[in-house]
Amino acid sequence: MRIALDAMGTDLAPDPEIQGALQALADFEGDIEIVLVGDEPALRAAVSRHGPIPERLTFKHASDRVTAEDSPASVIRKKPNSSIVVGLKLHQQGEADAFVSAGSTGAIMATSLFTLRPLPGVDRPAVGTLLPTLGSPCLLIDAGANVDCKPQHLVQFAHLGNVYVRDAIGTAEPRVALLNIGEEPGKGNEVVAETYELLSRERGIRFVGNVEGRDIIQDTCDVVVCDGFVGNVLLKFYESVAAVIVAMLRKQLDGRDVGSLFDEVFRVLDYSEYGGAPLLGVGGVSIICHGESSPKAIRNALGVAARAVRSDMVKHSAQDVTAAAR
């Protein structure tokens, strides 16, 4: 299996990508090959500084880089030699089985949609993000791709999230919940109330009903379905609450020694631990990482990508969504 890794994605690229790739090759099973996509001469030189270039690490030259100034939708046309477009085309043409990038979220999404195309039966591919909880992480889907959703879109998200958590994270029979403002059926706005009805009758997923905001990180479910507006607000809020609370505690502690206390808490709250956010519902494996990803986060994203490929996640997603649409 070969994974294309955008080597121009993180804020500190290509170092976190190179270190993450080397770590993944060292840690994971022997069938993984990684293709570093970027400025080949520079990448070769940078990798060489870590020792001889491993056999399972290859390069694909891409001379250009997507920046925050580029309009996401125009990247495929205006920057055909960018690492995002070159890497995704490798995947599209079957020369890679998955794509991982810490570059512009919008550009990765738009280019993935264009190259990998939505799966049959998927109206709206969606972004999933694993949130740390008191127990196993919970996949929030959609985390921001679709701001206006109809009930059938939310039902598709439920299937896509279910297959991802089962196949790529390895949770058997994920508990799938609908984000709402009350537990009883009939609660919520029109879209959510109708989605509840649909999910209650849906086969192939273990629907556990409505959950409220307070339940998400209490390990009550493995997948929580919402529209991309709510999901994105929640996700960004979560990051900031953690940071604010730790800042408050630091101030209170006022220099007292508590060892690695905060490092540990930040580690638990750091969702990059879980390997990036997949774009689900397209005909391939496309994983979006934070621009601030550490080598470890890149390594973990490569691990999740490998697991998604090995488990045939995309095939299962297509089967489940198609069966649901019948």
Residues that bind a second copy (CB under 8 A): 133-134, 144, 147-148, 179, 181, 188-190, 192, 212-218, 226-230, 232-242, 244-249, 252-253, 256, 258, 261, 264-265, 268-269
Cis upstream peptide for 142 (omega within 30°): yes
Closer to a second copy at the Cβ: 42 or 244? 244
Nearer residue to a second copy within complex by CB, 208 or 261: 261
Q: How far is the CB of 233 from a second copy (least distance, A)?
A: 4
Whether the bond into 14 is cis, omega within 30 of 0: yes
DSSP alpha helices (H): ranges in the chain? 15-27, 40-48, 75-78, 83-92, 105-116, 151-164, 190-201, 228-253, 261-269, 295-310, 313-325
CA of 263: how far to CAs of 21, 131, 266, 314, in Å?
A: 24, 17, 5, 36
Which residue, 93 or 252, has its beta carbon nearer to a second copy? Answer: 252
Task: Tally Cβ neighbours within 10 Å of residue 258.
Answer: 10
Q: Strand 286-288 vs strand 277-280: parallel, antiparallel, or unpaired? A: antiparallel
Q: How far is the CB of 180 from a second copy (least distance, A)?
A: 8
Closest approach of a second copy to the CB of residue 8, in Å: 23
Tell me the closest approach of the beta carbon of residue 67 to a second copy, in angstroms. 17
Nearer to a second copy, 211 or 309 (CB): 211
Q: In the bound complex, what is the minimum distance in angstroms from residue 106's beta carbon to a second copy?
A: 10
Closest to a second copy by CB, 214 or 326: 214
Query: Could you give the C-alpha distances from 109 to 69, 74, 124, 268, in angstroms and in order?
Result: 16, 12, 12, 27
Least distance between a second copy and beta carbon 188 (Å): 6
- C-alpha distances (whole Å) from 100 to each of 20, 52, 55, 184, 284 are 11, 23, 20, 39, 11
Nearer to a second copy, 121 or 144 (CB): 144
- Indicate the residue among 232 and 286 with the shorter CB distance to a second copy: 232
Cα-flanking dihedrals φ and ψ of residue 33, to 5°? -115, 145
Our separate counts of H helices and E strands in the chain read 11, 11
**C-beta of 268 vs 323, nearer to a second copy:** 268
3-state secondary structure of 2: strand
Quote the least distance from Cβ 37 to a second copy, whole Å: 28
Contact call for residues 142 and 277 (beta carbons, < 8 A): no
Least distance to a second copy, CB of residue 45, Å = 37
Minimum distance, C-beta of residue 267 to a second copy, in the bound complex (Å): 10
Given the complex with a second copy, which of 24 and 199 has the nearer CB atom?
A: 199
Q: Report how far apart, in Å, the C-alpha atoms of 40 and of each of 35, 44, 67, 119, 280 are.
A: 11, 6, 19, 33, 30
